A = this chain, B = another copy of it.
Amino acid sequence: MSPLPQWLADLAQSLGPAGLWIPGVNADEAQMQPHLVDWRQRYVGRALAMARPANTEQVAHVVRACAAQGVCIVPQGGNTSLVGGSVPDGSGQQLLLNLQRMQSIRHIDADNFSLTAEAGCTLAAVQNAAASAGLLFPLSLASEGSCTLGGNLATNAGGTQVLRYGTARELCLGLEAVTPQGNVWHGLSSLRKDNTGYALKDLLIGSEGTLGIITAASVKLYPQPKGQACALVACTSLNQSVKLLSQARHALNAGLVAFEVMGGLSLQLLMRHVPQAGAALSPLLDPSNHAPPPWVILLENTSTSSHEQAQAQLQQWLTSALSEGLADNAVLANNQAQQQAMWHLRESIPTAERLAGRMAKHDIAVPTSAVAQFVGACSTALGQQWPQAQVVCFGHLGDGNLHYNVQPPTSMPTTDFDAFEQAVNAVVFDHVKQLAGTLSAEHGIGALRAAEMAQRKDPTALAMMHAIKQALDPQGLMNPGRVLQVSGS
């Protein structure tokens, strides 16, 4: 085994044994493993070492040391990226910079409806801290127990309440971050209005660690709604679902916090693979054959007054929607347990998908007005090429964001999957582009979509992004190959 390079020994000294894990020195494979494999297990890497700084000054110290050595840095929060954004490559030459030790909720300012927390706080910890002050941090997604605030901001996370509260970027007021040169930007403003120069906060948010490392953030908090009501609504078509969304927005306005869609096939998979999660669906099944409806909407209405008001508003609106033919059938949750069962249904679909085998997965968005057209045209095109392939579709219809996943024909040999996936991606992304949509709505680009973005994004936009990357990270050390393809590669 080669001796430890001096700069790494120095770094170990200044960060302490808990602050730098060096494989084979003070960290074994079992410790490192969860940090080297991505959530979907498509990327497995090696790391020169994993820094675990305890505070912002230590982050800056690590970055300066790496900059001096020309060592690349891969920042990591909860390592829940779905696009391979947070694991090192296979070279063993990249330094993993894990923020999970920075978990302090620094400040809650209830009268300003804001909270300041460090990057390594889990999203759930931030939600809980807000709740303990009688307030709401509305960012909400499946991995909230393990994903971190820093990762949420680095990837501009979305989730289920974007319709009402916006994405992570819109929920953030200010950042503290370390630049690729190892300087600390003290930008932890908690103001609603600040027009002093360029939107650095917004630029760093969603840059996936390629322009600097977010170490802390101030975020917006909201009043907690006084009551919730949920319903499942059966629709025959996506066209009908989109009209239902329009009507719901007009009738419920800001009360409407979530409008999720689940396609019939995604529900069939759920009933097959996670049957206990399907209970809430029973009232909507076809009595003759127990088949789910073609499309089911899960929507949540909130009230500033009471549970009863949320319920009454939703019921009144649903009654008129049913009478106008905007929905075929509907069931309203009568208590909190039934509400949870409806959400459990929705949240179990990814599990059902995993159990159903490999799929070519997509996280796309089109204008909500074009959702039905997209699914119609794209599914037809896929069906022509692969008559036995099946489309599993669900997602955040309120934002036009669909998880549009294509299951290969059962007869297809496993070895053909990669080629199938690539061909399917081309069909899906061509249709997305025709309808002014996006090939990544909320998951980001990471390593997985970098080539496709380079091919398909507006060339002027790409040129601007490369110019910004070059200006802020001229050595190209920050999370290389993510978002933008490294020139020459």
Contacts and interface: CB of A to CB of B under 8 A. Distances in A.
Interface of A: 109-114, 134, 155-156, 158, 162-163, 166-167, 169-170, 179, 183-200, 202-203, 205-207, 211, 222-223, 225, 242-243, 245-246, 249-255, 304, 313, 365-370, 396, 398-401, 436-445, 449, 453, 457-458, 460-465, 467-472, 483-484
Contacts of A110: 246, 369
B483 A191 contact: no
Given A170-B170, A367-B112, A197 B401 contact: no
A459 to B, nearest CB: 8
Contacts of A254: 253-255, 304
B365 A192 contact: yes
Given A169-B199, A170-B166, A206-B199, A183 B223 contact: no
Which of A112, A190, A196 is most buried by chain B, counting CB atoms within 10 A of its CB?
A196
Given A467-B471, A468-B468, A191 B441 contact: yes
Contacts of A369: 109-112
A222 B243 CA distance: 15
A483 to B, nearest CB: 6
A368 B111 contact: yes
Contact of A437 (B170, B191, B463): B191
A5 to B, nearest CB: 29
B156 A400 contact: no
Contacts of A368: 111-113
A253 B190 contact: no
A243 B162 contact: no
B192 A203 contact: no
A225 to B, nearest CB: 7
Given A179-B464, A255-B304, A196 B457 contact: yes
Contact of A192 (B162, B199, B200, B464): B162
B246 A111 contact: yes
Contacts of A206: 195, 197-199
B445 A156 contact: no
Contacts of A463: 183
B304 A195 contact: no
Contacts of A203: 198-199, 202-203, 468
A368 B109 CA distance: 9
A46 B47 CA distance: 60
A157 to B, nearest CB: 9
Contacts of A458: 185-187
A367 B156 CA distance: 24
A381 B225 CA distance: 41
Nearest to A185: B460
B113 A192 contact: no
Given A191-B436, A192-B365, 6 more contacts: A110-B369, A191-B437, A195-B440, A195-B443, A468-B471, A468-B472
B167 A444 contact: no
12 contacts: A111-B242, A111-B243, A111-B368, A112-B370, A186-B460, A190-B436, A191-B437, A193-B442, A197-B484, A198-B207, A202-B203, A223-B249
B436 A192 contact: no
A184 B464 CA distance: 11
Which of A134, A207, A368 is most buried by chain B, counting CB atoms within 10 A of its CB?
A368
B460 A192 contact: no
Contacts of A484: 197
